[in-house]
């Protein structure tokens, strides 16, 4: 694996949808680098420190959220002299995003007073009153023709369907939620999933015309839904709950066809491979050392701290580290907080927040546990390769951890004093962005070997 040098950032970093560029916020400057040479191709100066950046879908425009001011600035890569500034005045701007046509920007004002659609083609703007959330509660169809926007008025939640060509409201329907948490179109644009706040376990499937196709409620008492995710194929809907279970619904009957438990004890026989991160002392090459008197009189042990990490395959039964959340504190660290599908919809990885150092990988085709990764430190991020079945994760250390159906292995980042806190794949899978506290680098990941055997080699 090849690593680039480290480059400075002050928060936001993201690849362009066409995979050609990477945008980086460095205080009030927006730096655009080429993903092949990593040379700076554009440099834009904003009016304040950049809080957020987002590419337009066509990779021609990019917006910068200056939320402290608050305002939005947008830039064009094909016309560097072109610029756009959006200021809502006293209403303020709490969040901004692109529409699928890359020619409109949607902003949410402070206190969710209104959502505004701004046109880059002309000066027209459209308002939607009382959006439910600041950064959530909006979903676009995959073809980019319609938007579903959640609103709340008179203590009731509604879904507004807007045409993305005219931004007119095509329809509005009330949803059966106490406090709507979020909304998401299905990948085939045929259904809309809505789920309630953690205080009420409720997942609702609606048709675009507002008919409730299915209501799912796994249990009634206790905290409910924590995470929801469609599979890329649209065949499955995964629901992670505070009861530490993952439930998978199918798109034909909307019934549960798989339930996966995250137990602290894994008993045998177990078909899953369990990989545990361990320290391995580095063995010095004696032939390359200068054998002076001082060395001969000293110890030949490995110097303190000279280790490398590797995965060790362990056999069941195994007891996994578990943290019981305190009952007297809010926002308990329990339930399925991280959940991500592989690009082929065959695997899904999960992290139960009561066991933050454990990553579970489930095989949906065989409805079984495929692997368990036991890390030394809490898992910060886990991302699937967009082009193949490969999972990469980080734990805030200097190491990368990878899993494929053929096995798992560890890779040490050679950059000194560089710890990895977040990961992002280039959309074409050509490289991986490793984000540290104040710097980032990229890694070129080699193609997967043709193998189906499990291995623990690093």
Q: Where are the domains of the chain?
A: 1-87, 90-283+306-444
Q: Per residue in 423-457, pLDDT tens?
A: 999 999 999 999 999 999 999 988 876 544 444 44
Q: Supply the mean pLDDT for the chain.
A: 91
Mean pLDDT of 96-117: 96
267 pLDDT exceeds 90? Answer: no
Cis, bond preceding 317 (omega within 30 deg of 0)? yes
Tokens 């809309």 belong to 192
- DSSP states of 249-311 as a string? EETTT--EEEEEE--SEEPSS--SEEEEEEEEEPPP-GGGS---HHHHHS--SPPTT-EEEEE
Q: For 90-283+306-444, which CATH superfamily applies? A: YVTN repeat-like/Quinoprotein amine dehydrogenase (2.130.10.10)
- Decide: residue 116, CB within 10 A, 0-12 exposed, 13-18 middle, 19+ buried: buried
Q: What is the pLDDT of residue 325?
A: 82
Q: What is the pLDDT of residue 269?
A: 80
For 47, 63, 90, 118, 436, the CA distances from 86, given in Å and listed in that order, are 12, 10, 13, 8, 31
Residues 6+ apart with CB under 8 A from 192: 139, 148, 159, 183, 184, 185, 186, 205, 206, 207, 208
Confidence of residue 319 (pLDDT cuts 50, 70, 90): very high
Tokens 């675009």 belong to 208
Rounded Cα distance between 362 and 382, Å, is 14
Rounded Cα distance between 434 and 222, Å, is 38
pTM of the model: 0.91
Mean pLDDT of 221-236: 95
318 pLDDT exceeds 60? Answer: yes
Q: Token pair for residue 373? A: 């990764």
Q: Per residue in 144-202, pLDDT tens?
A: 999 999 999 999 999 999 999 999 999 999 999 999 999 999 999 999 999 999 999 99
Give the CATH fold of the 1-87 domain: Thrombin, subunit H (2.40.10)
φ, ψ for residue 450 (rounded to 5)? -80, 95
300 pLDDT exceeds 50? Answer: no
């Amino acid at each position: 694996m090849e690593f680039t040098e480290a480059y400075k950032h002050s928060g936001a970093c993201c690849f362009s949808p066409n995979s050609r560029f990477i945008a980086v916020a460095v205080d009030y400057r927006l730096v655009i680098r080429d993903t092949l040479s990593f040379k700076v191709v554009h440099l834009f100066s904003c009016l304040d420190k950049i809080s957020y950046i987002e590419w337009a879908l066509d990779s021609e425009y990019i917006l910068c959220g200056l939320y402290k001011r608050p305002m939005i600035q947008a830039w064009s890569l094909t016309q560097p002299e072109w610029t756009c500034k959006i200021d809502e005045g006293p209403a303020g701007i709490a969040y901004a995003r692109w529409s699928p046509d890359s020619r409109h920007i949607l902003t949410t004002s402070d206190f969710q007073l209104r959502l505004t659609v701004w046109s880059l083609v002309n000066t027209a703007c459209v308002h939607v009153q009382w959006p439910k959330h600041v950064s959530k509660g909006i979903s676009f169809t995959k073809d980019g023709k319609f938007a579903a926007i959640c609103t709340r008025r008179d203590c009731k939640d509604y879904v507004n369907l807007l045409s993305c060509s005219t931004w007119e409201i095509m329809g509005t329907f009330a949803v059966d939620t106490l406090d709507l948490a979020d909304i998401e179109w299905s990948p085939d644009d045929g259904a809309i999933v809505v789920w309630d706040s953690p205080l009420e376990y409720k997942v609702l499937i609606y048709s675009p015309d507002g008919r409730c196709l299915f209501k799912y409620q796994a249990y009634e008492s206790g905290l409910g839904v924590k995470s929801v995710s469609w599979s890329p194929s649209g065949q499955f809907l995964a629901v992670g709950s505070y009861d530490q279970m993952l439930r998978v619904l199918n798109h034909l009957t909307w019934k549960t066809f798989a339930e996966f438990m995250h137990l602290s004890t894994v008993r045998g026989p177990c078909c899953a491979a369990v990989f545990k991160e361990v320290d391995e002392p580095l063995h010095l090459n004696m032939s390359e050392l200068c054998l002076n008197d001082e060395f001969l009189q000293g110890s030949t042990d490995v110097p303190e701290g000279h280790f490398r990490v590797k995965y060790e395959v362990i056999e069941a039964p195994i007891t996994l580290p578990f943290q019981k959340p305190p009952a007297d504190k809010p926002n308990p660290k329990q339930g399925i907080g991280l959940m991500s599908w592989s690009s082929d919809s065959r695997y899904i990885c999960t992290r139960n927040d009561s066991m933050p150092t454990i990553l579970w990988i489930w095989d949906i085709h065989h409805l079984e546990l495929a692997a368990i990764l036991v890390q030394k430190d809490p898992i910060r991020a886990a991302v699937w390769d967009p082009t193949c079945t490969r999972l990469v994760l980080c734990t805030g250390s200097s190491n990368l951890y990878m899993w494929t159906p053929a096995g798992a292995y560890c890779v040490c980042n050679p950059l000194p004093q560089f710890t990895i806190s977040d990961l992002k794949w280039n959309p074409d899978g050509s490289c991986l962005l490793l984000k540290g506290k104040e710097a980032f680098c990229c890694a070129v990941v080699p193609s997967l070997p043709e193998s189906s055997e499990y291995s623990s080699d690093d």
